[in-house]
């Protein structure tokens, strides 16, 4: 028996930055979507309430692994071109911009653009594998936050239907008797 495929399983664990796929293997290590909630304790009251605040930015961290000399040379070129802080805007020049990013799980979290926050140096494991970590910060325009909840939706049992006429009343009575016999 085959397992049904719900969606397309990603074939690779890699990314594209500004439309360019870097060499090597990129593994998404961490960077959850954290929803903004604040706990507010009541003054002179017991208990607390939650109030929505702005959602935090996703801060994805990747492990970048390079396996051979040619890829290492290409990785150094990619790092010097894309993994740096953009130069400050000079009058008359375009302003620095965030880079577009694509990774299947980042897309699910709503991350489309990032800025580079941190890049570690490449480290050799002694067997020919060079690796470093890269930390991005999501870039997005601020969005309006939700308003404070006025109430909660109770989790109650669904109400039993009431008889609309004599025929419905008779039917419900017979169903109750049948349930008693079945027990």
CATH number of 141's domain: 2.40.30
Residue 148 CA to residue 168 CA, distance in Å, equals 43
Pick 5 or 168 by higher pLDDT. Answer: 168
Q: What is the pLDDT of residues 126-174, one digit of tens each?
A: 888 999 999 999 998 877 766 766 777 777 776 666 667 788 888 888 8
pLDDT at 112 over 80: yes
pLDDT at 111: 93
Q: Print the domain residue range for 26.
A: 1-39+48-88+95-147
pTM over the 0.85 mark: no
* 169 found inside a domain: no
How many CA atoms does the CB half-sphere of 72 hold within 13 Å? 12
Whether 156 is covered by a domain: the verdict is no
At residue 91, does pLDDT exceed 70? Answer: no
Cα–Cα distance, 38 to 49 (Å, whole number): 8
| Local confidence band at 8 (pLDDT 50, 70, 90 cut-offs) | low
* Cα separations in angstroms, 31 against 56, 58, 108, 126, 182: 11, 6, 12, 29, 54
Residue 175 lies in a domain: no
**Residue 167 lies inside a defined structural domain of this protein:** no
State pLDDT tens for residues 11-70.
656 789 988 889 999 999 999 999 888 888 877 777 888 888 888 899 999 999 999 888
In this prediction, residue 176 carries a pLDDT of 84
Pairwise CA distance, residues 101 & 72, whole Å: 22
In a domain, 53, yes or no: yes
Is 179's pLDDT higher than 70? Answer: yes
Domains in the chain, number: 1
- Asked if pLDDT for residue 92 goes beyond 70, the answer is no
Burial (CB < 10 A; 0-12, 13-18, 19+), residue 130, is: buried
Is 110 a member of any domain?
A: yes
3-class SS letters over the chain: CCCCCCCCCCCCCCCEECCECCCCEEEEEECCCCCCEEEEECCCCCCEEEEECCCCCCCCEEEEEECCHHHHHHHHHHHHHHCCCCCCCCCCCCCCCCEEEECHHHHHCCCCEEEEEEECCCEECCCCCEEEEEEEEECCCCCCCCCCCCCCCCCCCCCCCCCCCHHHHHHHHHHHHHHHHHC
Domain assignment present for residue 58? The answer is yes
């Amino acid at each position: 028996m085959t397992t049904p495929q719900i969606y397309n399983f990603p074939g690779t664990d890699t990314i594209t930055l500004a439309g360019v796929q870097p060499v090597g293997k990129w593994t998404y290590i961490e960077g959850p979507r954290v929803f903004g909630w604040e706990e507010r304790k009541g003054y002179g009251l017991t208990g607390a309430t939650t109030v929505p605040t702005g959602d935090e930015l996703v801060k994805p961290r990747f492990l970048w692994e390079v396996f051979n000399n040619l890829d290492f040379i290409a990785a150094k070129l990619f790092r010097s071109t894309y993994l740096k802080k953009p130069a400050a805007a000079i009058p008359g020049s375009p302003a620095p911009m965030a880079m577009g990013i694509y990774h299947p799980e980042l897309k699910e979290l709503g991350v489309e653009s990032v800025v580079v926050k941190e890049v570690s140096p490449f480290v050799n494991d002694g067997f020919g594998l060079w690796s470093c970590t890269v930390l991005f910060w999501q870039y997005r325009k601020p969005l309006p936050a939700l308003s404070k909840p006025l109430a909660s939706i109770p989790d109650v049992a669904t109400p039993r239907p009431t008889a609309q006429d004599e025929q419905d009343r008779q039917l419900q009575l017979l169903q109750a008797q049948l349930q008693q016999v079945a027990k």
